[in-house]
Structure 1
């Protein structure tokens, strides 16, 4: 159930005040005003064997203190007690009673009695520290360029202490729901740029915060669990409902449900989302650059008036057989080490950008040039056109397979990222290398594909032409990183 109510149940057991005992003494609940996040209190009415009636009120201390019919000195002392508990990081509840209640169990009668004033019985301080993983999750989110804002119904001092514990904010700059109610959307948008902690907020205030962030075109994820949180969850770019404590209304209004109600799971989801997008980008990058290899090789030989370095069926073989499995295996690439150190990507930015195209053309040109040089070398040596084409064809195939190591990491040296972390890639490369060898050495495939068997010397030339572009690409990547 609700952790606050759970804490009160534990407190009741400590002082031998349990529901069963109360009922055994003859107290029967005759009415209830449910807790409202707007009013910030709840009330229950009891009757003892048809005679004595009691009306108890529980809620936010500042709300109940306003209901107390006492002079300023007494209320100031009450607020001081509340503040002292809040400064210890406790969630504070005030408990009061309507003196000499004689009404029935209707909500109207209960409200009328409460409006006439209550007697404050005391405060309950509940120590509800943040989970151990929250501090690290907040740090990871901030390093990833994600701003974390804490929105709570607790006392501002409690909120400030908790924010300090998770290193969210160290200043005492906390905005309350009442202060927000006095602000326009533009004023709140200006305040929210410099404030990360909001206390004593209502569900309506949550929606205000979402709208203020939207003014600055921020991509907003909002968490919530109650029925009244639905508008804010629906208004955010990503609504996140609590799977354990969340109501069905909140879940239906959300885009994502946390099955464990942990903030760290949201950060893990961001990491997973970035990894998925990275892998989609790598997939497109690999296939685009491989296509550039084939187009460039054919185009240059036509310009030079040379025989075609590769046949149409061989191009299909590269695209549909050799490249497909390695490209698909990129879906299982683990997240890169720096993925949560990057700034968030602009949601309006396309995958294929100018910088992306330059990289694709540069990589494809190098691999294609390697194949052309091998082709020209074979022609110069006087090898048969079938043998030379097989050499160029195999150089393209192996060059594109080596190229997968360029694609696996955006910034890191490709060969330093362990291939063992992606067993699917190992299998894909072995199959693709094996298929290329089959097409060179199996007679029936020779006739179909226009290839011929090659000797060891030619394979050395092919290997040099295939791996050199990858070495150059890796070197330029490393030099580019040093210059940053």
Structure 2
């Protein structure tokens, strides 16, 4: 660990000459041994490989089998339709995947193209990829760090490391520091890390790690090691595919057994069995699910969310843990003055008055090297925060410097922890302003200004100042002090007049607190994971309502002492993780997942990328997020707003509910078809439906009504429900009973319609109604055609009515707003019109072998087909009575 070594030991370890650096020959030798200073590229997946991967699904295999069987039966149109569905599904998935997984490429782009270094005693520039361990690299403001360095020189050096560590302000570096124990990356102030940037000052460092051995390389390794897991919905659909596959085999075997037992034509019965098996599989389901997810993606864009992987839409709806980075996600990533202390009073910054507090304001604005002129924000974040404080009362640095030009200065350095600027006022008076650490400034003050009057400073004043600073520190505010000196242009920092304090912090996003509260009511825990200090993290967490005590906070150093299993046991009681490394973040996500949670991870930095990939769903910030974070994430928030995640979760929950409704609708409808056919054949009757009838009904119900259910509007109470169990089956909470019940109901009214024609004619003829007499009557081609038309119309129409009730199985039809789902109205009208067409249009009557129906017959069949709606109302009534009884 080079941060635990002295500069001298680092020279010895890396075998580097202090004054001349490496020789050209030695550098070449080391390069040949270690290779280029670059990240190992992940071999990209080809478009063909992406396409094939979309076909590796049980449901897809079943559909391929269905297409093959349909072709064997001569139903080529059905076979073509199924294949089109499969190929469209795979193409959409391939397009989505081809946009994803570019995290390592983004990491590669972060590396510095050139580096200034000392070789053979000369300062030269070389491509960063040619650096080797032992090279001495020169650093200055604006430079990208080309490799991991042990600093050997640091002059006011500050390095912007937020993308790597999560800290909201640049890290002050000190080459003389030597750590006595293992510490996190953010505390290694004698190190500079690859892909970070120099914000201020200058320095030199010895290359100690290159390529994949750097901290950024370790992150790249973590990203490449993360494997993609199936989403909860994919797992449920995979299980459903297996179930339907088993069902299809059972149907074939059972029908073949019946054929042998009843001494029927075995070949004919085998073809019928295969037709039923195909009918049992809702071939439109994968396409419907894909379309519903794709439409969900479009709706997500309206709530400022870009989805990179289709299944992520639904996964977000199952989230029970939201792990969020602090800086830039829960906070504004903008240091802001929130408290001030002057005239012996601790006040909110909004209480500043230009008339009364002009000296205080002018001092912090003028003793400042940052700039916000013309909208550009250049300089240290703490100094920019002071300029923003001035802007609140319409004071700008550029305006002040015109009337109060700087005539002398002492720049800030990490040893003095102060800076001083001297100015000439409009009245030709001289005033100097000194700002810096409170304790250092206070030691240099012998006077204090109170309400415009300068007094000698006493112990009571000092106590009040320290109490105010302590109060600010408790709120995790960064404290700076200001002092003045008049009539001295030397910029000396003695005998100063204490003026006041400011306290600043990277504040929470105003809307984040409401989002955390909504998550809490929805049974979702918000977890803060940050590279920032414990006190700062805990203060923000308490303000947002994420945590309420210090016992809920743990640091990275404490995590390093725990095994994964030990953290798994403790994690349920933790809410804030501070000063953590990228490895710690992955460990935390795994710990929450070990308890069966669906975990979302949000972040914007390079350091967040491995955990974004490890989480069930990674959410990156679109504005402040690095390309690495976006490449590793499943979703990107275009407004960097934590509250947007809450809206996305609601959308995700609605999408799952819609898909579940669609699945149950399709299965109950197809189950009804199978049972009606199976029952008729078992009792020795002719088939109530022809193959073309089944295909037609599947066409009108597996398309528009199913799709209409898939795009249904969300319930207003959807975020008051607890997260569903990720292992929950699509048939959970009565789903299986519901499917069987509705399937049997549709089957029996279809059989009822099929038997209605022969029974009413037998009664009219005075013939006894028996199974034998019905069988005999159905031997007539005209009678069987009439009976099958009844069954055909009733089956299709009853499923259309069933789809309306499926919109909300807990709400009466009379309490639903049916105009909220105009797609359902269109689907119903279109489906009914198509059903009418097959009995009224001559060419269709011939194709479908149906008969023309009278108005009376249509009324009778429509009334029979409405049974699912009557059933829906009765079930809702029973549920309502039970709920009221249990209250």
TM-score bracket relative to the smaller structure: 0.7 to 0.9
Matched, 1:369 2:748: yes
Alignment partner of 1:316 out of 695, 704, 708: 695
Matched, 1:341 2:720: yes
Q: Following TM superposition, by how much is the alpha carbon of 1:363 offset from its aligned partner in structure 2, in angstroms?
A: 0.8
Partner of 1:126: 504
Q: Following TM superposition, by how much is the alpha carbon of 1:151 offset from its aligned partner in structure 2, in angstroms?
A: 4.2
Whether the 8 Å CA contact 1:177–1:205 is kept in 2: the answer is no
Note the aligned Cα RMSD (angstroms): 4.3
Partner of 1:327: 706
TM-aligned CA distance change 1:341 to 1:182, over 3 Å:
same
Partner of 1:180: 558
Matched, 1:93 2:424: no
Partner of 1:84: 471
Q: Matched residues in 2 for 1:15 and 1:311: separation?
A: 82
Alignment partner of 1:468 out of 847, 864, 867: 867
Q: Matched residues in 2 for 1:408 and 1:339: separation?
A: 14
Q: Which moved more, 1:437-446 or 1:322-331?
A: 322-331
Q: Following TM superposition, by how much is the alpha carbon of 1:147 offset from its aligned partner in structure 2, in angstroms?
A: 0.7
Q: Following TM superposition, by how much is the alpha carbon of 1:447 offset from its aligned partner in structure 2, in angstroms?
A: 1.6
Larger CA Rg, structure 1 vs 2: 2
For CA contacts below 8 A with separation 6 or more, give which structure has more relative contact order.
2
Whether the 8 Å CA contact 2:406–2:421 is kept in 1: the answer is no
Q: Which moved more, 1:390-399 or 1:296-305?
A: 296-305
Q: Matched residues in 2 for 1:277 and 1:321: separation?
A: 23
Q: Following TM superposition, by how much is the alpha carbon of 1:284 offset from its aligned partner in structure 2, in angstroms?
A: 2.0
Aligned runs of 1:295-444 on 2, under 5 Å?
Answer: 295-351=674-730, 356-382=735-761, 384-414=783-813, 416-444=815-843
Q: Matched residues in 2 for 1:244 and 1:29: separation?
A: 37
Alignment partner of 1:254 out of 633, 637, 657: 633
Whether the 8 Å CA contact 1:390–1:451 is kept in 2: the answer is yes
Partner of 1:7: 385
Partner of 2:671: 292
TM-aligned CA distance change 1:293 to 1:8, over 3 Å:
same
Q: Matched residues in 1 for 2:410 and 2:665: separation?
A: 70
Mind listing any 5+ residue stretches in structure 1 that lack a counterpart? 34-40, 49-53, 98-119
Q: Matched residues in 2 for 1:445 and 1:16: separation?
A: 81
Whether the 8 Å CA contact 1:370–1:469 is kept in 2: the answer is no
Whether the 8 Å CA contact 1:408–1:414 is kept in 2: the answer is no
Alignment partner of 1:148 out of 526, 537, 546: 526
Q: Following TM superposition, by how much is the alpha carbon of 1:477 offset from its aligned partner in structure 2, in angstroms?
A: 4.6
Q: Following TM superposition, by how much is the alpha carbon of 1:369 offset from its aligned partner in structure 2, in angstroms?
A: 0.7
Whether the 8 Å CA contact 1:323–1:432 is kept in 2: the answer is no
Matched, 1:25 2:403: no
Q: Report the count of equivalent residues.
A: 438
Q: Which moved more, 1:438-447 or 1:134-143?
A: 134-143
Per-residue CA deviation, residues 365-404 of structure 1 (Å, 9 max, x unaligned), is 1011112222222211118443332222111111100110
Q: Matched residues in 2 for 1:76 and 1:184: separation?
A: 42
| Structure 2 counterpart SS, 1:3 | coil
Q: Following TM superposition, by how much is the alpha carbon of 1:229 offset from its aligned partner in structure 2, in angstroms?
A: 3.2
Q: Following TM superposition, by how much is the alpha carbon of 1:198 offset from its aligned partner in structure 2, in angstroms?
A: 4.6
Partner of 2:344: none
Aligned runs of 1:157-176 on 2, under 5 Å?
Answer: 162-163=540-541, 165-171=543-549, 173-176=551-554
Whether the 8 Å CA contact 2:556–2:581 is kept in 1: the answer is no
Partner of 1:136: 514
Q: Following TM superposition, by how much is the alpha carbon of 1:227 offset from its aligned partner in structure 2, in angstroms?
A: 3.1
Q: Following TM superposition, by how much is the alpha carbon of 1:437 offset from its aligned partner in structure 2, in angstroms?
A: 0.8
More helix, by proportion:
1
Q: Matched residues in 2 for 1:242 and 1:388: separation?
A: 62
TM-aligned CA distance change 1:392 to 1:216, over 3 Å:
closer
State the TM-score, normalized to the length of structure 2.
0.43
| Structure 2 counterpart SS, 1:382 | helix
TM-aligned CA distance change 1:127 to 1:30, over 3 Å:
closer
